[in-house]
Structure 1
Amino acid sequence: MNDNNLVTLVHRFLHWERTQPEAIYLTESMPDGRVVDYTWKEVGDQARRMAAYLQSLDLPPQSAISIIGKNSAHWIIADLAIWMAGHVSVPLYPTVNADTAQYVFEHADTRVVIVGRLDGKADAWNDIQKVVPPNVPMIGLPLSPSLPTVRQWETIVAEVQPLQDVQLPSPDQLATIIYTSGSTGRPKGVMHSFGTILAYATGAGEFCSFTPSDRVLSYLPLAHTAERSFVESNSLCHGFRVYFNDSLATFAQDLQRARPTVFISMPRLWTKFYQGVCAKLPPAQQELLATQSPQADAMKKQILTMLGLDATRIAFTGSAPLPHEITNWYRNLGLELLDVYGMTENFSYSHYSRPGQVRPGYSGQALPGVECRIADNGEILLKAPTMMLGYYKQAELTAESMTEDGFFKTGDRGELDEIGRLKITGRVKEIFKTSKGKYVAPAPIENKLGHPKVEAVCVTGPAFPQPFALLMLGLEARKELQDPQAREKLQAELQGMLDRVNAMLEGHEKLAFVVVVKDFWTTDAGFLTPTMKIKRSVIEERYLPKAQGWADIGKTVIVEGD
């Protein structure tokens, strides 16, 4: 790898296009069951043709071009085409509402909208299409909705000759504007240069020792920094293969097809894997699994193979801690989950747990080039080679987000241990006051409420004498509520968890009760961000009006609807 190839991801792509043209880069499972492969040469050909078409539109240099749609091979090909044409990509979540989409289109001055996999059922396309500015052309990727106003990708690439002299950006040039998916307020447009993106990929590459023989599965939203960095940036930089998940129904099949060598997921999915396996194993086999024996080793290998994770050499988790029982279960299988911490503003490059140095509840040490310190109010302050250029059209907000000596104010509260591992203890602005005038930080309490059958937790209670917790159970645990004996056992387990946690808390933090909620907290329903973090304001708006009624019941474990 010579220095000329290390300038930007566009340079890196050209390197792989030249040196391994017939190697498969992208593998996509289709709704009809077909599996389609795209080589580096084919990706380059299609990207060059679309880049030539975009240049034919005579847009101003560095125009904003939006991509909206679920993950697909052509999402990445479209991003490459935008860069090759000398423009800036502005991704949007497929679940974004029309109001936010309209804001982004107007704020970014979007000149073209590239429409990906959308169906108007599990996404907001039916409303979004109405707010696309009338003078903005739309291009439909394969699997996009068919509309007279949307020019189809296949038609364009069949008619246009590939661009030979692609735009080779400089490291300091703007590559993308990523609008944050924050739980409150208007999204902020985070600007990243080609240099900050490459700094992530080179740093992550050294940590993971990536080679072209690696494989990953793309299923988290490419519009979010975590997937954009981990999948797109790393694959372009290091030349490895990307598989795509078609749908939730095909997830297990797609994961087994990919057999990823490196895999990243959120706690909720790691919990679902765990619950699914445990539901299939009789008690005798679960006991055997905890032993050290040839039979146990064979079973562990079989479980990892069933999950599609038998080839995984590095597994990451992030966004919230996992219950110790679950992390220990994976470790016993031979899969050590490495907790990571990052954000849109630093392109997900901040803190990674090191193999053999994992500490439960901590996100690991700072990555090379990252400086971290804790402010007097507990806020995490960071410097990194991947730090954003700033917030688009919001210079004042950019200045407010930085300290005088150039550290970024993350808004997260945290603490460092003796070897520099970072523990996230909540958000600076999430602290609420009880009716007794005491302040409560919810996140540390939520992190203690770990139970294998609980998929999500929200601690709340502003203006109440004591805080309380809302618990969302997994699907299998919900079924237990229908059986009186299993229900009684589950409620006893939750009571035990509540007692254990309350014993660790200060008096003003002790939970008055926990409530098992009826709703499924999903992104579609608006309870979770696209990266599966709870939207605290939405949850509180939904449940706080019921809180006094629950408090009046006088129970400590309540099932909503009883």
Structure 2
Amino acid sequence: MPTNFDTAFLDTMPANVAVQFFDRVATSPDSEAFRFPRGEAWESVTWKQVGEKVEALAAGLIALGVQPEQRVGIASGTRYEWILADLAVMCAAGATTTVYPSTNAEDTVYILADSESHVVFAEDDEQLKKLTDHRAELPHVSKVVTFDGATDGDWIISLDDLAQLGAAKLAEQPDVVRTTSDAISPDQLATLIYTSGTTGRPKGVRLRHKSWVFEGEAIRVQNILDETDLQFLWLPMAHSFGKVLLSAQLACGFASAVDGRVDKIVDNCAAVKPTFMGAAPRIFEKAYGRIQTMQAAEGGAKEKIFHKAFEVGLKVEQLKREGKSVPLPLKVQHGLFDKLVFSKVRERFGGRVRFFISGAAALNREIAEWFNAAGIVILEGYGMTENSAGGTVNHPDENRIGTVGRALPGAEVKIGEGDEVLLRGPHVMEGYHNLPEETHKALDADGWLHTGDKGSLDADGFLTITGRIKELFKTSGGKYIAPPAIESKFKAICPYASQFMVFGSEKNYVVALVTLDPDAMVGWAAENGMEGQSYTELVRSDAVKTMVAGYVDELNTKLNRWETIKKWELLDHDLTVESGELTPSMKVKRNVVEGNHKAVIDSMYA
């Protein structure tokens, strides 16, 4: 069982991400690096091919005058070209500034202006429009490079145009990119990520080269991943979770299949057959709900076998966790159910998954145990943009469900005043861009990052997160409520749930806003004689309200008396990134939801 990993790697890490990348190209030139969809098929490239492309693009950026630490924006969804652009920026000694494609024009312009980005990669015409409509507000942007959009031969050029500029530069100065890369210091700015701030303007988090290199190396030394693995990468690359998986790839050398279309995740897993994937809990909740509702629809003997299988699977896993042996009859039963039931669950994700990594929000324990029983391990980790995404993570050989694992090798975690989780190590940010006061609040004199999360450490150093300190509230009766714990319980009980949001600060009872999963409700409607009705019509129907009431009643049996949900309301729409109620990593912006639906919440206390 892993306990303490050797931290000698801290003294031998590559100096920067560019060197780390070129080292990987030299070590694995003919191995597959990436695959990505082209029409219906998947195209594959080797590390050598990626190296040549990145070098040409980096030389193009140098030809455009990009200076060390100068910001270069990327406004695009997750795709192979995003990764090429990001690597090129870092190999040219620039600093990638990330913009989600769903960010509105006003915030996009704010981020690019505040960061003083000189060049911007824009995915398509939709992203280009945000820039062309506000060109006067972007005085620093000298050039825009588009992946798929229309060029104008002047301000806006294509990715191929940039590569040609680079080829000409390399013909003049063959070593220009390598010389530039070698000169980057570990403390140099690599990335400026604007947190999607649940309040006010987004804040730019300054992350150094050494932080990303450390994240990758700290994963490599744990021997979790190697060159034989295949990742499916769909997470937003504008988010630190997506970026940290790229760092791990450079350090470990596995290949990644890249496609950012969220609606294609399960289909892509079946086609690509990955060995691992990072995801937000919402993906596991949706998959769990879908499998549950499909079984319920089949009914009869199949449904009975399904439930019996999980009863046995959960029992076996519990015995293993307690260090007890599994009795032979149970072992035989488990083997049978593995063939009949669990293998089919695994097959939905391609059949080769060794583990998933869950982050960005809290994962419900029952859902984690359910997947575990099916032979799909979910390793929960914890971190934030301010510490380059990875602070702690569970290990396949020592996975404590319900915790977010131990600190990464070479990093530290401790519990501070008010049970606040504090992190320290090479992964911690330099500070917030142009916000010295905010930096001072987040980083103390000893280098500890104050996360704003409440948590506890067990005797073996495994961290458990209770919730955001700001999200915990007290009822008028003086009882503390941790909304995420209640909310994730409901999602484990109700397979039709999308979001469940709990409120009740300074009130005498707790209420909830509920949204249902539109995809799951299509199936429910078909089974309940309401086929063809819109989502809004369904949630307004008495039949759906009765169904949800049953699940809320079941939830209340699992809660303390003061936590029980006294009243609840179904919203007539699900929360989306576009509505501004979810972050691109699928976290609920609680205060936005509360503000948008204040009248509904207030009416439950009237």
Same fold by TM-score greater than 0.5: yes
Shift, 1:435, TM fit? 5.7
Query: Secondary structure of 1:519's partner?
Result: coil
Question: Of 166, 176, 193, which aligns to 1:165?
Answer: 176
Between 269-278 and 66-75, report the one with greater CA deviation: 269-278
- Alpha carbons 1:7, 1:171 under 8 Å: kept: yes
1:6-25 → structure 2 map (5 Å cutoff): 6-25=14-33
Which residue of 289, 294, 297 corresponds with 1:275?
Answer: 289
For the 8 Å contact 2:118–2:143, the answer to whether it is kept is no
**Cα drift, residue 536 of structure 1:** 0.7
1:151 equivalent in alignment to 2:165 = no
Correspondence for 2:37:
29
**1:471 is matched with which residue: 501, 511, 514?**
514
Q: Once superposed, what is the RMSD of the aligned Cα atoms?
A: 2.8
Paired position in structure 2 for 1:198: 213
Cα displacement string for residues 79-128 of structure 1 (whole angstroms, at most 9, x for unaligned residues): 12112222111111111122222221122111111112x463xxx66435
- Structure 1, 301-310 or 340-349: larger mean CA deviation: 301-310
Deviations 1:311-331 (A, max 9, x none): 121222223344444223211
2:585 pairs, out of 517, 523, 531, with: 531
What is the DSSP-based 3-state SS (H/G/I as helix, E as strand, rest coil) of the residue aligned with 1:6? Answer: coil
* TM superposition score normalised by structure 2: 0.82
**What one-letter code is carried by the residue in structure 1 that aligns with 2:598?**
L
| Cα drift, residue 551 of structure 1 | 4.3
Query: Is the aligned partner of 1:55 residue 2:96?
Result: no
Please give the residue correspondences for 1:289-300 in structure 2 after superposition, counting only pairs within 5 Å. 289=306, 290=309, 291=312, 292-300=333-341
Runs of 5+ consecutive residues of structure 2 not aligned to the other structure: 1-7, 313-332, 530-541
Aligned AA (1:191)? R
Looking at secondary structure, tell me which structure has more helix per residue: 2
In structure 2, do the counterparts of structure 1 residues 319 and 56 end up closer, same or farther at CA, with 3 Å as the change threshold? Answer: closer
Alignment of 1:325-474 (within 5 A): 325-355=366-396, 357-432=398-473, 434=475, 440-449=481-490, 450-453=492-495, 454-462=497-505, 464-474=507-517
Offset of residue 467 of structure 1: 2.3
Q: Cα offset for 1:452? A: 4.0
Report Cα offsets for 1:159-208 as digits up to 9, x if no partner: 54245332222222221111111211222211111111111101112235
Q: 1:19 to 1:513 in 2, by over 3 A?
A: same
Contact 1:271 1:452 in 2 (8 A): no
SS at match of 1:186: coil
Go from structure 1 to structure 2 and tell me whether the alpha carbon gap of 1:140 and 1:302 turns closer, same or farther (over 3 Å shift): farther
User: Which letter maps to 1:459?
Assistant: V
Separation in 2, partners of 1:378, 1:311: 39
1:211 aligns with 2:211: no
Q: Provide the aligned length of Structure 1 versus Structure 2.
A: 542
Q: For 1:170-181, list aligned pairs within 5 A.
A: 170-181=185-196
Paired residue secondary structure (1:38): strand
Residues 406 and 384 of structure 1: CA distance in aligned 2, closer, same or farther (over 3 Å): same
- Aligned partner (choices 136, 145, 149) of residue 140 of structure 1: 145
| Distance apart, 1:498 and its partner CA | 2.4
Distance 1:354 1:21 in 2: 29
8 Å CA contact 1:64, 1:108 repeated in 2: yes
Instruction: Measure the CA separation in 1 of the matches of 2:408 and 2:254.
Output: 22
Q: 1:225 maps to what in 2?
A: 240
SS at match of 1:176: strand
Letter in 2 for 1:269: I
Q: Aligned residue for 2:305?
A: 288
Structure 2 letter corresponding to 1:549: S
| Matched residue SS, 2:120 | strand
Q: Does 1:94 align with 2:111?
A: no
Distance 1:321 1:174, change over 3 A: closer
| 1:447 Cα deviation after fit | 4.1
Q: Conserved in 2, the CA contact under 8 Å of 1:28 and 1:246?
A: no
Match for residue 262 of structure 1 among 263, 270, 276: 276
Distance 2:506 2:17 in 1: 51
Q: What is the identity, as a one-letter code, of the residue corresponding to 2:99?
A: L
Equivalent residue letter for 2:206: M
TM superposition shift of 1:309: 4.1
Alignment correspondent of 1:131: 134
Task: Choose from 74, 77, 84 the match for 2:81.
Answer: 74
The Cα shift of 1:46 comes to 1.7
Alpha-carbon distance in structure 2 between the residues aligned to 1:187 and 1:428: 20
Q: Which amino acid aligns with 2:221?
A: E
Displacement of 1:361 after TM fit? Answer: 3.3
**TM-fit CA distance, 1:142:** 3.1
Deviations 1:473-502 (A, max 9, x none): 22355343765767644431221212332x
Cα distance, 1:154 vs structure 2: 1.4
Distance 1:359 1:261 in 2: 21
CA shift for structure 1 position 278: 3.0
Match of residue 557 from structure 1:
none
In structure 2, distance between residues paired with 1:13 and 1:433: 49
Say if 1:431 and 1:309 are closer, same or farther in 2 by CA, change over 3 A: same
1:60–1:28 CA distance, 2 compared to 1 (3 A) = same
Distance across 1 between alignment mates of 2:219 and 2:568: 40
Question: Does 2:349 match 1:308?
Answer: yes
Give the direction of change, closer, same or farther, for the CA distance of 1:139–1:537 in structure 2 (3 Å limit): same
Residues 171, 297 of structure 1: alpha-carbon distance in 2 compared, 3 angstrom cutoff: same
TM, length-normalised to structure 1: 0.88
1:28 Cα deviation after fit: 1.0
Matched position secondary structure for 1:393: coil
Question: Quick one: structure 1 residues 154 and 264, their matched pair in 2 at CA, closer, same or farther if it must change by over 3 Å?
Answer: same
1:5/1:11 contact within 8 Å kept: no
Q: Deviations over 1:199-245 (max 9, x none)?
A: 11011122353222211111111011101001x11112222211112
